[in-house]
Amino acid sequence: MADVVPADVRSRMMAGIRSTNTKPELLLRRGLHARGLRFRLHDRSLPGTPDLVFPRRRAVVQAHGCFWHGHDCHLFKWPKTRDEFWRAKIACNRAVDARAEAALHDAGWRVAVVWECALKGRTRLDHGDVLDALATWIRCTDMRIDIRGLDATLEER
C-alpha cells in the first residue's frame, strides 16, 4: 500500500519526532519535581539512558511511547507500508528495552515504566494518580512498576 503523504512530507514528520523531552516525559518531570523529588536526566552512564534517574534511591523511570516501544494498546498500530522494516525496527526496540532493563536490574537499580497510553488517549489515567503512584514507588518500595492506561500494576521482581 502506498503512503498517503509524499516522501518529503513524511520525512519532515518523522524528523520532528523527539527521543528526549517528549510531552509524556515533561509531564512526569514537572509532576515529580512538584512532589519534591529531584532527579538527573538521560544519564548516559546507565544502560538504556533512562529518562529520569534518582541516584540516591537507585531508581529510574522510563517514559515509553506506545508506538516506538511496541506496546499492545490502542495507540499502537502497525504501519501499512514497509512492513518488514517496521516489524524489525519495533522488535529491535523491544529487545534493547529488555536488555537495558535486565542490566539495570542486575546493577541494583529499580525500574519504572510509564507507557504513553497511561497519560493520553481513551485509556488514560488521572495524571495525579499516576504521579502519586510513581512518587510512592520511588520513595518506598523495592518493586518494579509498569503503568499502563487503565491498568496500573505492581509486579515484584
Instruction: With respect to residue 139, please indicate whether it lies within any of the assigned structural domains.
Output: yes
- Average pLDDT on 23-34 reads 93
Number of domains in the chain: 1
The residue among 59 and 154 whose pLDDT is bigger is 59
Q: Where are the beta strands (DSSP E) in 38-121?
A: 40-41, 52-54, 59-64, 110-115
Give residue 124's identity as a one-letter amino acid code: R
Instruction: With respect to residue 102, please indicate whether it lies within any of the assigned structural domains.
Output: no
Predicted confidence (pLDDT) at residue 157 exceeds the cutoff of 60: no
- The predicted-structure confidence for 100-152, as pLDDT tens digits, reads as follows 999 999 999 999 999 999 999 888 899 999 999 999 999 986 667 788 887 54
Instruction: With respect to residue 98, please indicate whether it lies within any of the assigned structural domains.
Output: no
pLDDT at 75: 86
What CATH number is associated with residue 77?
Answer: 3.40.960.10
Q: Give the length of the chain.
A: 157
- The predicted-structure confidence for 39-82, as pLDDT tens digits, reads as follows 999 999 999 999 999 999 999 999 998 988 999 888 888 888 88
Instruction: With respect to residue 132, please indicate whether it lies within any of the assigned structural domains.
Output: yes
pLDDT at 152: 46
pLDDT at 15: 64
pLDDT at 79: 85
Give residue 95's identity as a one-letter amino acid code: A
Instruction: With respect to residue 93, please indicate whether it lies within any of the assigned structural domains.
Output: no
155 SS3 class: strand
Instruction: With respect to residue 101, please indicate whether it lies within any of the assigned structural domains.
Output: no
Full domain range(s) for residue 41: 18-82+109-147
- The predicted-structure confidence for 1-28, as pLDDT tens digits, reads as follows 566 778 778 777 666 666 677 888 999 9
Of 152, 125, 117, give the one whose Cα is nearest residue 24.
117
